[in-house]
Amino acid sequence: MRADIQVGAQFPDYELTDHTGKRRKLSELQGDAPMILVLSRGHYCPKDHQQLHKLVDFYPELNVAYTNLVTISTDNLLQTNEFRDQLGAQWPFLSDAGRKVQKDLDIAEYTDPHNDPMIPHTLVLEPGLKIFRIYNGYWYWGRPSVEDLRHDLRELFQKIRPDWDISDSELRAAWERGERERFYPYKKSRPERIAS
pLDDT (tens digit, 9 = 90+) per residue, 61-97? 999 999 999 999 999 999 999 999 999 999 999 999 9
| pLDDT for 123 | 98
Whether 189 shows a pLDDT value over 60: the answer reads no
**Is 48 in contact with 41 (CB distance < 8 Å)?**
yes
* pLDDT tens per residue across span 113-152: 899 999 999 999 999 999 999 999 999 999 999 999 999 9
Query: In degrees, to the nearest 5, what angle opens at C-alpha 156 toward C-alphas 39 and 173?
Result: 150
Residue 192 has pLDDT above 60, yes or no: no
Whether residue 178 is predicted with pLDDT greater than 90 in this model: the reply is no
Exposed / middle / buried, residue 178 (Cβ in 10 Å: 0-12, 13-18, 19+): exposed
| Share above pLDDT 90 across residues of the chain, in percent, rounded to a whole number | 80
Q: How many CA atoms lie within 13 A of 97 on its CB side?
A: 12
**Per-residue pLDDT at 193:** 39
- Inter-residue contact 143 to 53 (CB < 8 Å): no
Task: Tell me the residue type at 191.
Answer: P
E strand residue ranges, the chain: 15-18, 23-25, 35-40, 68-73, 93-95, 121-126, 130-136
pTM: 0.89
